Amino acid sequence: MLTREAVLMGLFLRCDIVFLPPSFPIVAMENPCLTFIIASILESSEFLLIDVIHEIAHGWFGNAVTNATWEEMWLSEGLATYAQRRITTEAYGEAFTCLETVVRLDALHRQLRLLGDSNPVSKLQVKFEPGKHTHTHMYR
């Protein structure tokens, strides 16, 4: 199924998936051409294919091209999400990708509300001041 989409992104033409027991300590671990995913994800009716596409995308954005430090982890996730959305738009249409984006953004906002303002995870928002830190901006 990914052949046309793989060509779109310039990706590998073969990607294998190994489903692991629920005791695997993380949900997924990507490698170029091989992705490990916990088997319990098969029980979810929510976006299984999208999760698989996202993890496969990490084979290129996160492994082949990666961030220098953990502080730039958003770069790996952002590029994998970009590739995932390009592929799902090509395969299923723009409306599908827009709906998936809205559902995931809503889930993120719900999780941040549950964590609360005092949790360090909810404080990962970078606030740039005009005229400062301009060397860290990709675009002005």
Integer Cα distance of 78 and 81 in angstroms: 5
56 strand-pairing partners: none
Amino acid letter for position 61? F
Based on the residue annotation, tell me whether 30 is a catalytic residue of this protein.
Answer: no
Indicate which residue of 43, 55, 71, 94 is catalytic: 55
37 strand-pairing partners: 19, 28
Find, among 2, 40, 35, the residue nearest to 18 by Cα. 35
The DSSP result for 52-108, as a single string, is HHHHHHHTTBTTTB--SSGGGHHHHHHHHHHHHHHHHHHHH-HHHHHHHHHHHHHHH
Integer Cα distance of 55 and 62 in angstroms: 10
Active site residues: 55
